[in-house]
Structure 1
Amino acid sequence: MSSFATSSDGTRIAYDADGSGPPVILVGGAMQFRGFDSNTVAMAKLLAARGYTVINFDRRGRGESAQAPSFTLADTIEDLRALIDAAGAPSALFGSSSGGSICLAAAAAGLPVTAMVLWETPLGEELGTDSAANLAGLREKLAAGDGDDVIAYYMKDMPPEWLEGARSSPGWPVMTSMGPSLEADTESLAWTQSAPRAELWASIQAPTLALVGEQTLPIMPPAADSIAANVPHGSTGVIPAANHSWEPDVMATRIAAFLGSLA
């Protein structure tokens, strides 16, 4: 049965907590929530078995956290603040894809974050304008109210076969229902280009591991290198993985090894 944390605007955030030990909060990227992402559900249980309290939550606008008045990056940071309070202690964060840029923004905002593992965060060029343009375009699509167009726009820079596969899958209606929540993903990526990253991330004291897969998209290794170079305590790593996805046991093992090295 789900537990719930209440964010600062009254939005109820649904989550599962598995295991006992230092808390780790899993921050999903685009299209991820507990009922739609069995990989992360499985990884949460495997990581919990390694001695952690693992919190896997539905971001606002998704799953059991579907009802919310707005979906900004600031809203999502407040949701994380509520989850950290529910955990009862400063927490490590695992950010998947654009969930990684949300984690960086949360840590820079001063949330009590002990460490971060960031998986293939798709950062554009430092000080670039592409993500800001994407945010403006996404907001136009959201205002027009066509869920199909919102998802197609969000995925326009991804390999075309990903969008084709999504459109033909039974999960497409679920994806289109999540459109409003993609504002926080896009806004967080735009934020990473809004100023020199060393300045944006100077206050982040949490040790941060930026991971990529052995087979990955060209954007990902430079993005991981940029994270490691610009957070005060950053490093990079490579795991056996491909197509922006990973095996639950591989990821749980890597997260536990990194967090264990800091103990």
Structure 2
Amino acid sequence: MISADGTAIAYQRFGGDGPPLILITAALCDRTAVSELAEQLAPAFPAIAYDRRGRGDSGDLGAWTVRREIEDLAALIDGAGGSAAIYGHSSGAALALHAAAAGLPITKLILHEPPFTPTHDGEDQRERQAAEERAGEEQAETIRALLAQDRRAEAIAAFLAPTGMPQQMVEQMSNDPAVQAVAHTLPHDPFDVVSASSRGGATPAEQAATVMIPTLLLCGGDSFPWMIETGAQLAAAMPDAHHQVMPGQPHVAAPQALAPLLTGFLLST
């Protein structure tokens, strides 16, 4: 598909005709990260896995903005027949929320562990959130500096290590050529995609409250507690949303666990 700015967006369609589910990947992923899930969904309905701009076989014209990633989704939806359901994982879920809030013709929305910090009332909470935003900006700046020197493995490690990922896995991913190939997108995804500035200063819950689309908020029972709390907060803020925790699943849930939940939600009336 050709996006509004002329960028070619590569995609793979699993399954036959009909309104599809478009799968949005997280940071450091190309479309192969969701291919197994797409294959499992295809017997029930079509699924589209695509390379976000700058990754895999997709192009990357001009300066990156969240708006351009939304336009990429709009092109895919238009090419798929004019409407589609959307699934996004992690920072891909944040992009999916942006797209829904922007009014794209989305029939149903699945947000799988969007990585927003839970919000609470009170001066202490506002100060803590401000401190977390500053820390995120500093981390992003460190990653930009490493990428400018083409130190991709170090940039990936600078992103992954603070998440609590085991050191062995951080080292494995940091030295994976496929992960290194998309490391240049890290300053944008997740940092820009999940930032307050990308929402015009609104909180994630305030942005979510504008979305009227039927929505499923998914979290893994073995994931980070703050992500589960965030999912519950977003679901409570949305007019038509349900929060569901998948027992025993980590942040990156198994396709075998995801596929039945997605199928049930998308086929329900």
TM range (shorter): 0.7 to 0.9
Q: Is 1:24 the equivalent of 2:21?
A: yes
Q: Is 1:11 the equivalent of 2:7?
A: yes
Larger Rg over CA atoms: 2
The match for 1:63 among 56, 62, 68 is 56
The match for 1:138 among 137, 140, 145 is 140
How far has the Cα of 1:209 moved from its partner? 0.8
- Number of residue equivalences: 253
Question: Residue in 1 aligned with 2:222?
Answer: 215
Stretch moving more, 170-179 or 23-32:
170-179
Stretch moving more, 100-109 or 231-240:
231-240
Q: C-alpha offsets along residues 51-74 of structure 1, whole Å, 9 cap, x if unaligned?
A: x22110011121111544333322
Stretch moving more, 61-70 or 226-235:
61-70
Q: C-alpha offsets along residues 92-122 of structure 1, whole Å, 9 cap, x if unaligned?
A: 1101111111110111111111111111222
Q: C-alpha offsets along residues 187-236 of structure 1, whole Å, 9 cap, x if unaligned?
A: 22113693244532333111111111221112211011111012221110
Q: Which amino acid aligns with 1:54?
A: A
Q: Which amino acid aligns with 1:188?
A: V
The match for 1:106 among 99, 110, 125 is 99
Question: Residue in 1 aligned with 2:90?
Answer: 97
Contact map agreement 2:174 2:180 (CA 8 A) in 1: no
Q: How does 1:25-64 map to 2 (within 5 A)?
A: 25-35=22-32, 37=33, 40-50=34-44, 52-64=45-57
Q: C-alpha offsets along residues 140-165 of structure 1, whole Å, 9 cap, x if unaligned?
A: 5325513233222322421141x531
Q: Secondary structure at the match of 1:64?
A: coil
Specify every segment of 5 or more residues in structure 1 that has no aligned partner in the other structure, as ranges.
none
Tell me the TM-score normalised to structure 1 length: 0.86
Between the aligned partners of 1:43 and 1:94, the Cα distance in structure 2 is 11
Tell me the TM-score normalised to structure 2 length: 0.84
Between the aligned partners of 1:194 and 1:149, the Cα distance in structure 2 is 31
The match for 1:153 among 142, 154, 158 is 158
Q: Secondary structure at the match of 2:225?
A: coil
Question: Residue in 2 aligned with 1:86?
Answer: 79
Q: 1:177 to 1:249 in 2, by over 3 A?
A: same
Aligned identity (percent) is 32
Contact map agreement 1:114 1:207 (CA 8 A) in 2: yes
Between the aligned partners of 2:256 and 2:161, the Cα distance in structure 1 is 31
Q: Secondary structure at the match of 1:93?
A: strand
Specify every segment of 5 or more residues in structure 2 that has no aligned partner in the other structure, as ranges.
120-125
Stretch moving more, 135-144 or 177-186:
135-144
Q: How does 1:113-132 map to 2 (within 5 A)?
A: 113-126=106-119, 128-129=129-130, 130-131=132-133
Between the aligned partners of 1:16 and 1:61, the Cα distance in structure 2 is 16
How far has the Cα of 1:177 moved from its partner? 2.6
- Cα RMSD after superposing both structures: 2.3
How far has the Cα of 1:247 moved from its partner? 2.3
Q: 1:53 to 1:89 in 2, by over 3 A?
A: farther
Q: Which amino acid aligns with 1:141?
A: I
Between the aligned partners of 2:207 and 2:256, the Cα distance in structure 1 is 33
